[in-house]
Amino acid sequence: MMSGERFQQDAPYLTELRRDMLRFASLQLRDEQLAEDVVQEALMAVLAGEKNFSGRSAMKTWVYAILRNKIVDAIRSRSRTVNVSALSQEDESLDQAFEALFKPNAHWQPGSQPRAWGDPEAALHQERFWAVFDACLKHLPENAARVFMMREFLEFETDEVCAELKITISNCHVILHRARNGLRQCLEKTWFGAGEQAC
């Protein structure tokens, strides 16, 4: 068993962990200072705590659970001032890129069919993939990214996302679809682009 205090002595590991947490938090908050603050608070809670962990992975799960809560709090206190249903120019251009994938009869354009991504699981172990993933997430329009990350990173149920952000469930589905497709097209273009073309 390892205590928070033991982890404190593992400086290289903590540095890596802190960097990943910062990346996670700043993507969602889009505010570097706020991200620094929530990561600091989450790490302090772990390092100061009496709780024992069976290893790094258990500690990581725990610290991310705390980090999630801190991010949720930050989003809640801010969501009153954000209008998520407003359609930005970036949203519109993402929608146009989606529409361009289809023929007028709403089936795939021959050249735009989703490609085979080979063995995508292998990408999860590659450092460079995460840099691309990160860049694609940053590339999403702000509102789409916010809804998507609440759903996928913070694992809110869809109706909770709607309630928090005061949007209708159907709008929520539209936004999530926009974000997923945007991310998919970005990954296909920048990471899986070399994959074989669908026939």
Partner 1 sequence: MLKCKEVTHLLSESQDRKLTLAERLQLKMHLAMCEGCTRYRQQLDFIRRACRAFAGGEDGPDHSA
Residues engaged in binding partner 1 (CB under 8 A): 13, 16-17, 20, 23-24, 56-57, 60-61, 63-65, 67-68, 102, 105-108, 113-117, 120-121, 123-125, 127, 130, 133, 151-155, 158, 172-173, 176-177, 180-181, 183-184, 187-188, 198-199
Between 57 and 81, name the residue whose CB sits nearer to partner 1. Answer: 57
Between 57 and 77, name the residue whose CB sits nearer to partner 1. Answer: 57
Q: Determine which helix (DSSP H) or strand (DSSP E) holds 52, and give its type and residue range.
A: strand 52-53
Among the residues of the chain, which ranges form H helices? 4-8, 11-29, 32-48, 56-79, 89-99, 120-123, 127-139, 142-152, 158-165, 169-190
Between 40 and 158, name the residue whose CB sits nearer to partner 1. Answer: 158
- Least distance CB 199 / partner 1 (angstroms): 8
- Least distance CB 123 / partner 1 (angstroms): 8
What are the b/e assignments for 2-15, b being 16+ CB within 10 Å? bebeebeeeeeeee
- Least distance CB 185 / partner 1 (angstroms): 10
Angstrom distance (rounded) from CA 63 to CA 21: 9
Between 5 and 13, name the residue whose CB sits nearer to partner 1. Answer: 13
Each as own residue / partner, the long-range contacts of residues 10-18 (CB below 8 Å, 24 or more positions apart, any chain) are 13/56, 14/43, 17/43, 17/60, 17/63, 18/43
Do residues 38 and 65 make contact, with C-beta atoms less than 8 angstroms apart? no
- Least distance CB 163 / partner 1 (angstroms): 14
Between 50 and 127, name the residue whose CB sits nearer to partner 1. Answer: 127
- Least distance CB 107 / partner 1 (angstroms): 5
- Least distance CB 32 / partner 1 (angstroms): 18
Q: Which residue has the tokens 């989606």?
A: 98
Between 80 and 147, name the residue whose CB sits nearer to partner 1. Answer: 147
Do residues 30 and 71 make contact, with C-beta atoms less than 8 angstroms apart? no
